Amino acid sequence: MAARTLVGAKCRESDLFPARRRLSLHTRRRPRLRSEEDLTGASCVSPDEAFPGMAKDLAARSRKWAALGGPSLTYLVEQVTGEIVPFFLANGFRRVSRYMDDPGDAISARQIRLERRRDGKIEGVSITFDKYHRPAFQIQVERRVATGTQDWVRAANVVKRPGQYLCFWGAPWWLPARLWPRAASRHVAARVRVLSPATLAFLDDGRANRHLRSTAAGTL
C-alpha cells in the first residue's frame, strides 16, 4: 500500500532522497561494470578479435552481461570463447547478432550464436548461458531451410548422457557460483570441444550419437 501511495501521489525522487536532489533517475550515472580483466586477473579474448564483423553493440552488451556474473561466469565465457567457438569459426561459421538474418530477432547478450549458409540451408550453433548468471550453458545445433518458411531439417541438443533432453554444462544449480573452480570450467569447455566434430556430422546427414538428443526432424 505504501508503494501505491507514493506512485499515486507522483512523489519525486528528490522528496525521498534530499541529498541527491541534483540528480534525477534519468541522469544519475550507473556504477561502472568491472571488466573481464578486473574480474579474472587475465584479459579474455576480445569479442571483436574472436568474431570479425560482429556488431559492436552486441560485443559490449555481452561483456557487461558476463561481468555481472562475477569471476566464475566470466572465466567460463572466456573458456567457451577460446576453446569451443574457434572450432566452428574454422569450419565456416561466423558469429551473428540476428537470428537467421531476421532484423526483428536480435541475439541475447547471454548467447553466442554462430551460423553458416550451405546448400540453400542455414546451419546454426547456439551457446546459451544461464539467465541467472550461473556459470553454466546449453548448446544446440540446427539446420533449416534458408528461404520461405525456413522449415526445420534437423536439430539437436548436446547432452552429457543418453536420456537427457536438455543439459546445462557447468556448475550445478545447487552450487554457489563462487565455489565453481576454474579447473572445472576448463574441463567442461574441453569436453564440449571434443564433442563438436560430431555436431557437424549431425548437421550434414543426421548422424547422431549418445551426446546428441534430436529435437526436430524434417523431411528435407
What percentage of the chain reaches a pLDDT higher than 90? Answer: 62
Confidence bin at 51 (pLDDT 50/70/90): low
Answering whether pTM is above 0.85, one says: no
3-class state of residue 144 by DSSP: strand
Per residue in 97-138, pLDDT tens? 999 888 889 999 999 999 999 999 999 999 999 999 999 999
Question: Are the beta carbons of 170 and 79 closer than 8 angstroms?
Answer: no
The grid coordinates of residue 59 equal: 560485443
Per residue in 184-211, pLDDT tens? 999 999 999 999 999 999 999 998 899 9
Helix (H) or strand (E) holding 122: strand 121-129
Q: Where are the domains of the chain?
A: 42-217
Give the C-alpha separation, 164 to 162, whole Å.
6
Q: What is the pLDDT of residue 149?
A: 82
What is the 8-class DSSP label of residue 140?
E
Q: What is the mean pLDDT of the chain?
A: 80
